[in-house]
Amino acid sequence: MEGVRASDAGSGHFMDPAMGAQVAQSATNIAGFNSDDTLLPLTGSRAYLDVSPAAGHPFYGGSEVVYTNGRYREHCSPRLGGRSRDNSAERSHGAANTPCGIMKDGSKQRQVRKKTVSFSSMPNDRKISSTAACMAFMMEGCEMKKVRSNSRMYNRYFLLDPDMHWLRWEPSKKDSDKAKLEIKSIKEVRLGKKTPVLRSNGLSDQFPDECAFSIIYGDNYESLDLVGSTADVVSTWVMGLRYLVSYGRHPVDMVEQSQPSLRTSWIGSVFELADMEKDGYIDLFRATQIIKGLNPGMKESRIELKFKELQKAKDQYGEDINMDTFVEAYCELCTRPEIFFLLVQFSSNKEYLDSKDLMLFVEVEQGVEGVNEDMCREIVQKFEPSAEGRERGYLSIDGFTHYLLSSECHIFDPQHKRVCQDMTQPLSHYYINSSHNASLLEDHFWGSSDISSYIRALRMGCRSLEVIVWDGPDNEPVVYVGSSVASQLAFSKVLDIINQYAFESSEYPLILCLVTHCCIHQQRVIAQHMKKILGDKLYVDLPNKEEIYLPSPEQLRGKILIKGKRLPPSCTETEGDVTDEEEGLEMSRRLGANEKDQLNGLGRRLRLCRELSDLVSLCKSVQFRDFDISKKEQKYWEICSFNEVDANRFANEFPEDFVCYNKRFLSRIYPTPMRIDASNINPQDFWKCGCQIVAMNYQTPGLMMDLNLGWFRQNGNCGYVLRPAIMREEVSYFSANARDSLPGVSAQLLHIKVISGQNLPKPRGSAAKGDVVEPYIYAEIHGIPADCAEQRTKTVSQNGDNPVFDESFEFQINLPELAALRFVVLDDDYIGDEFIGQYTIPFECLQPGYRHVPLQSLTGEFLANTTLFVHIAITNRRGGGKAHKRGLSVRKGRKTREYTSTKTTGIKVVDELFRASTQPLREATDLRENVQNALVSFKELCGLTPAANMKQCILTVSTWLMNSERVLQLTVDLSETYPAMEAQGPVPELLRKVLTAYDMASSTVCVCACACMRACVLLFVYLFVAVLAWIQKLTLIPASHLQP
């Protein structure tokens, strides 16, 4: 039998689909034991993670909202990366008004309810795991709020008739015969605020989106708008009603009998083959190991407790488990309701997906193009655990869960796992993964130097290593940092390691930042070692003075560049003086260098030998003076280093100049020597200025290192990431401190729904006893100042196994190429440490749809079987606005639109020509916004959010047509550029509005395309004329009179 196989790091284990077919041959291996009851490693199955619903949202029935004490927290600030104040945490209080699970709502009116006390430690494990359980819950009924068109809400008790033909509510002023709705009249069930009544301003902030739903019924598509106590209650009603609308009305026992036996027969066969005595029982230990083997992240204590609870409910005692109890325990423990509801939503075959259902889900929800039934059948064969399901082409709830947990549904786009960017640009056009004090294991004072630090950095994709060399004994130079003299490394040994691992993780050039504090004699030894050990890998060719840009990473593949000092061309001797104005001088200051040297404005003078000087080619270190001098005098192969203090000053005072400087020249930013604890700088502060090499202390984990490592994953982790186009183009305007939308950059709106978490561990550094976790999640955006924002979910009380959050956020991203998304999971019930895990991903690497997010520890290791389940959608948007929770319509009026403006150059003829282009640009902006508004209007009429895509809209309209009792005909004309839809004969008013909105959207798109083409042509003409005029002016006006 195939052994346990992990998917991509952090995505958890998943079950071997072939295991169901082979289970008869080796059942004992599934449970992790042999015939002698000896515990074996779990080598017989791949398994998936488990989650159940958590406590509901704080809103409902006047439940009190309590805020946290606003304590400081680490790891979360998008700007500072250190500590930020948290005053937004909502915690549910008053359990009497807020039921904690969908099976525990005891608020039914007009019936006597007994008060009960539960001694179960798993209040959230009783969950909906089948359609029959869903129907039973709706028949029992629960209290919800009925919303009227005047925005007033009324408490009503809703329940489903036993014959499943009517939905009733009470109390009501209406007669009992009128306070009901026939199931067959229901056209659609919408989850969220997706009707005009629920989107009205008076209700927008009174309840969360996930606690609202609407029932669309009748030929006129009227709406019954309801608000439930929790997201779980609402999800159960939505799922149950959708099931009845799609599959008809049957008694609950018939529904149960009609369910496919894919799951029960499969798990039953696992039980039978583990029952070696063939007496219908297996012992508790063996049963626990089986479920544990199928779900590696689940705690054994939780499984054992579930068995004992089920046995007690059935008046069974002892250590033996029968098949019914085993199957029931498995279904309750291993069913994730959020995935079950998703499956039912897309299923046309009750509780499984066939290849057509799966194709619809993959294409519409996951955004995968070019999907066909053959691909979906391959998914079934790969992930369905039961042999019957694979044979019939059905994907059960277990197979669907396996698929969603696999690398195919990872949040990280697999295209970015390999080099996917243009690597032929000049070296200065890339961000370069860089290490500072690479030899250290800890801080400067107490940290020791270790050769393994270089190996770790190179394997993590580092392409710029700092090597600080000092005079050593026996004429052998040594490497160490600060006061770590006791742990010196032989320079030759460091070179051996670099030579061995330099291109193990990346084939693109490695830059060695050589800082020498050696005498002339040992400098020659350094040069000899480098030539001998690195050999042909050393790049020593002289720069081509006719070029104006550095070579590309592609041209320098497999080469090692030395960054360091080089003797001036005027020096013809075997040695000469150079200036030590960079890290070497600051290091000397910390170690007590001569005071006169420190006061020397240009730094102290050092002797440099010719042999070492000649090894420096494309990265000659020079002193930075100012941007004007650099523009006139600096050569493209010269590089300047800035400490973070100076770099921050330039970024704040001369942001545009700094960006322009980095278009041609490399700049290296290193931490100030005051960071004796080896803490890290925020790389985003300097990436936004175009700085290529931001040196990081790899030995210090935390937010800054998370950002650095996450950022460089986007190009195959090769250590090079192409900078945004606006920072590379010769003619472009960009300010590093921009706090608004950028000209020429299409802003994006990121929609995030944090659904649930799986197997969240206790914080490693927590001093609290026990395993209780109260998790909450921060979604952070890191990028330019206009994009930096964060939002947090509620706290889920005492549930780290399967917390359900169900909260949605929106973030506007003005510069997507420089933005990163970070999820941080924290513990609200902590002593000492609150950090559970995090994951950082560049915006460009996000995959839309339902995705799992693997979590990493503070030190970067992936936490086994620990994930978040989220939904991602990205839409094009323009205009201002900070992060906010998902609200109402995003349509904009003219007054709120932001129009592109031009910047004066000081050349009259050029400014006048471009001033004439303002009106076409304004018209293009209006047309673009008109298209956006038309599409949003169409989506809202379809009952969908602005984050929905057109495929989802068309799918909704087709569902209306199929569910209509009247015969409706709709023609689709595909002869034009955009498909046209036209109704034949009378149609309901809502459908008529939808078709009108679609026609408006498609016609607006056509007009916008033509107008934008016209505007582009005009701009090109203006630009061409302006250039000619400018050239002509140059012949008439002295250059000194021109303003740059």
Kindly report which listed range (312-326, 515-529, 583-597) carries the lowest average pLDDT score: 583-597
What value does the mean pLDDT of the chain take? Answer: 77
Q: Is 245 inside any structural domain?
A: yes
Q: Is 89 inside any structural domain?
A: no
The pTM score is 0.76
**Domain harbouring 235, CATH code:** 2.30.29.30
Residue 34, amino acid: N
Q: Which residues contact 836 (CB under 8 A, 6 or more apart)?
A: 760, 761, 762, 763, 773, 775, 825, 826, 827, 855
Q: Is 375 inside any structural domain?
A: yes
Residues 347-380: tens digit of each pLDDT = 876 678 988 889 989 988 898 888 888 999 999 9
Residue 884's beta-bridge partner residues? 810
Using 50, 70 and 90 to split pLDDT, how confident is the model at 957? confident
Phi, psi of 931, deg, nearest 5: -60, -45
Q: Which residues contact 651 (CB under 8 A, 6 or more apart)?
A: 658, 685, 686, 688, 689, 736, 737
Kindly report which listed range (511-515, 582-586, 654-658, 808-812) carries the lowest average pLDDT score: 582-586
Strand 90-93 to 64-67 pairing: antiparallel
Query: CA 119, CA 416: separation in Å to the nearest integer?
Result: 49
Residues 631-658: tens digit of each pLDDT = 899 999 999 999 999 999 999 999 889 9
Whether omega before 171 lies within 30 degrees of 0, making that bond cis, reads yes
Q: What is the mean pLDDT of residues 992-996?
A: 74
Q: How many CB atoms lie within 10 A of CB 812?
A: 21
**Domain harbouring 497, CATH code:** 3.20.20.190
Long-range Cβ pairs for the range 135-138 (8 Å, 24+): 135/160, 135/164, 135/240, 135/252, 135/255, 136/252, 137/102, 137/103, 137/236, 137/240, 138/236, 138/237, 138/240, 138/241
Using 50, 70 and 90 to split pLDDT, how confident is the model at 179? confident
Of 592, 609, 641, which one is at a domain's C-terminal end? Answer: 641
**Quick one: 249 and 286 in the same domain?**
no
Indicate if the pLDDT at residue 746 is higher than 70. Answer: yes
**Quick one: 297 and 217 in the same domain?**
no
**Quick one: 500 and 384 in the same domain?**
no
**Domain harbouring 47, CATH code:** 1.10.238.10
Of 216, 238, 257, which one is at a domain's C-terminal end? Answer: 257
pLDDT confidence of residue 79: 37
Q: 1004-1015 as b/e, with b when 16 or more CB fall inside 10 Å? A: bbeebeebbeeb
Residues 605-627: tens digit of each pLDDT = 788 999 999 999 999 999 998 89
Indicate if the pLDDT at residue 122 is higher than 50. Answer: no
Residue 158's beta-bridge partner residues? 142, 169
Name the CA dihedral angle for 198, 201, 205, 206, rounded to a multiple of 10 degrees: -60
Q: Is 1042 inside any structural domain?
A: no
Strand 693-696 to 430-435 pairing: parallel
**Quick one: 859 and 836 in the same domain?**
yes
Residues 941-951: tens digit of each pLDDT = 776 766 677 77
Indicate if the pLDDT at residue 78 is higher than 50. Answer: no
**Quick one: 767 and 781 in the same domain?**
yes
Using 50, 70 and 90 to split pLDDT, how confident is the model at 675? confident
CA distances, 783 to each of 106, 685, 814, 874 (Å): 47, 8, 9, 17
pLDDT confidence of residue 833: 74
Q: Is 680 inside any structural domain?
A: no
| Residues 765, 804 contacting (CB under 8 angstroms) | no
Query: CA 722, CA 725: separation in Å to the nearest integer?
Result: 8
Question: How many domains does one find in the chain?
Answer: 5
pLDDT confidence of residue 878: 41
> CA nearest 436: which of 623, 721, 671?
671
**Quick one: 920 and 882 in the same domain?**
no
Indicate if the pLDDT at residue 998 is higher than 90. Answer: no
| Residues 185, 964 contacting (CB under 8 angstroms) | no
Residues 747-771: tens digit of each pLDDT = 899 999 999 999 999 888 776 666 7
pLDDT confidence of residue 904: 67
Q: What is the mean pLDDT of residues 769-779?
A: 86
**Quick one: 469 and 401 in the same domain?**
no
Kindly report which listed range (192-201, 249-258, 853-862, 910-919) carries the lowest average pLDDT score: 249-258
pLDDT confidence of residue 897: 58
**Quick one: 291 and 250 in the same domain?**
no
Q: Is 662 inside any structural domain?
A: no
Query: CA 439, CA 479: separation in Å to the nearest integer?
Result: 8
Using 50, 70 and 90 to split pLDDT, how confident is the model at 134? confident
Check residues 839 and 571 and name the one with the higher pLDDT. Answer: 839
Query: CA 15, CA 23: separation in Å to the nearest integer?
Result: 12
**Quick one: 292 and 168 in the same domain?**
no
Domain encompassing residue 174: 131-257
H or E stretch including 652?
helix 644-653
Residues 306-333: tens digit of each pLDDT = 999 998 888 888 889 999 999 999 998 9
Q: What is the mean pLDDT of residues 960-978?
A: 66
Q: What is the mean pLDDT of residues 818-835?
A: 89
Q: What is the mean pLDDT of residues 678-695?
A: 93
pLDDT confidence of residue 603: 53
Residue 291 tokens read as 């479920």
| Residues 220, 991 contacting (CB under 8 angstroms) | no
The label of the residue with tokens 């902590």 reads 830
Q: Is 100 inside any structural domain?
A: no
Cα angle 960-963-965, degrees, rounded to a multiple of 5: 115
DSSP class of residue 322?
Answer: E
pLDDT confidence of residue 318: 82
**Quick one: 945 and 1000 in the same domain?**
yes
pLDDT confidence of residue 963: 63
Q: Is 697 inside any structural domain?
A: no
pLDDT confidence of residue 231: 83
**Quick one: 956 and 1025 in the same domain?**
yes
Q: What is the mean pLDDT of residues 199-204?
A: 68
Residues 883-897: tens digit of each pLDDT = 333 333 444 444 455
Of 590, 619, 641, which one is at a domain's C-terminal end? Answer: 641
**Quick one: 251 and 273 in the same domain?**
no
CA distances, 13 to each of 42, 129, 247, 377, 748 (Å): 11, 22, 34, 22, 34
